[in-house]
Amino acid sequence: MRCNNHKLLIICSHKAEADPIINFFSLVYKRLQGISVYQNDDIVVIIIGEGDKHIEYCLNHVFIAYNVQYVINYGVCGSDTLKVKVGSIFIINKIYCYRTDQLYYPVRLFDFDLTGAAIMTVDAPVYETFDCKYPDIHLVDMESSHVFRNLNNRICPSKVFIFKIVSDHLNEMEYTKESLFPILTPSLDRVTNIVINLNKSDNSYHLINDNVNNTVNQLFSRFKFTFSQQSELKRVILYKSHNDPTFTETILSCLPATCHTKHETAKLYHKIRNEALAESI
């Protein structure tokens, strides 16, 4: 039987990751077709395990049982640089799947005032260092790309938010309630406030993607950018629009009438990308 009221779905790999949220909201445990579920009237937390082995099964049953309005993938990750402190929280805006060599660019619906970061998803734990062809990626986990990909045909991607908290610098670590508690607790207030506000029909978060979506839709309908160019333009326009809300208007006001060749389209792509990144590098 389907639950009629809207739910915020929180996806965690480990019970230890979910414990602070479960305890804060006093969520009640139940089993759903073999899935560990913790819930109240507004929130449902599921534990999916590491990797992608159980994701599709879990999501199939959860989306049948609940009326999901937003999704948060919440958990820990590793980092290959000591410049990123343990306990730092990020909202993920670029995902690289090492296995499939695919890139994903989540374009979120709201601005949570969290630092954005890129992450690589791998199939097995990595220690000491990892090899990634994208130099801007310094975070690694085992599920972000699989969660995002499996959610794409179930809910609007802009309603999916991936929050990652750095737990270690690629040193071997056992994920227990005791080991993760001091890592997750410092950012718990920020996460729970986001959860509370998302459950309000009149939440106070600033919509950030309307102008961006309108702009990229006009760009992609007028010019034949490749898929990878489209993904990159979405990302950089969104970045720039955070600091300069007028940037989308600037782009549309200076576009050429048309691009007759692939070379001209490529030049336009690089022009827009360079302008978006000019003050962001």
pLDDT at 220: 84
52 occurs within a structural domain:
yes
Same domain membership, residue 123 and residue 22:
yes
Residues 259 and 122 in one domain: no
Structure-model confidence comparison of residues 4 and 86, the more confident one: 86
> For the chain, what is the mean pLDDT?
87
Residue 64 maps to a domain: yes
pLDDT of amino acid 281:
38
pLDDT at 226: 86
pLDDT at 5: 63
Give Cβ neighbours of residue 92 (< 8 Å, ≥ 6 apart).
Answer: 106, 116, 117, 118, 119, 139, 144, 162, 163, 164
Q: Give me the mean pLDDT over the 64-76 stretch.
A: 94
Q: What is the C-alpha separation between 138 and 166, in angstroms, rounded?
A: 10
Q: Tell me, what's the pLDDT at 210?
A: 63
pLDDT band at 107 (very low <50, low <70, confident <90, very high): confident
* Residue 63 falls inside a structural domain: yes
| Same domain as 232, residue 179 | no
Look at 135 and 217; give whichever has higher pLDDT. Answer: 135
Q: Between residues 85 and 131, which one has the greater pLDDT?
A: 85
Residues 57 and 128 in one domain: yes
Where does a domain end: 198, 217, 245? 198
Residue 280: the pLDDT is 46
pLDDT at 66 over 70: yes
Domain with 76, as residue range(s), is 6-198
CATH number at residue 133: 3.40.50.1580
Q: Are residues 273 and 152 in the same domain?
A: no
Residues 10/21, Cβ–Cβ less than 8 Å: yes
Identify which has the larger pLDDT, 102 or 276.
102
One domain for residues 246 and 125: no
In sequence order, the 6+-apart residues with CB closer than 8 A to the CB of 227 are none
Query: Does residue 167 sit in the same domain as residue 265?
Result: no
Under 8 Å between Cβ of 163 and 87: no
Q: What is the mean pLDDT of residues 25-40?
A: 94
Asked if residue 22 has pLDDT above 90, the reply is yes
Q: Let me know whether 12 and 107 are in one domain.
A: yes
How does strand 116-121 pair with strand 35-39?
unpaired
Rounded to an integer, what is the distance from CA 177 to the centroid of its chain? 24
In a domain, 217, yes or no: yes
Is there a domain that residue 94 lies in?
yes
Q: Using the 3D structure, point to which of 144, 166, 198 is the last residue of a domain.
A: 198
Quick one: pLDDT at residue 250? 85
Q: Is residue 204 part of a domain?
A: no
9 or 254, which is more confident? 9
Residue 163: inside a domain: yes
Residue at 1 is within a domain: no
At 179-221, the pLDDT tens digits run: 999 999 999 999 999 998 888 755 656 555 567 777 887 888 8
| Residue 4 predicted with pLDDT over 70 | no
Judged by average pLDDT, the poorest of 5-9, 44-48, 74-78, 117-121 is 5-9
Number of independent structural domains in the chain: 2
In this structure, the answer to whether residues 175 and 214 fall within a common structural domain is no
**Contacts within 8 Å (CB) and 24+ apart, 262-265:** 262/224, 265/223, 265/224, 265/225
Residues 228, 193, single domain; the answer is no
Shared domain check, 163 and 82? yes
Q: Lowest mean pLDDT of 48-57, 173-182, 188-197, 229-238, name the range.
A: 229-238
49 pLDDT above the threshold of 90: no
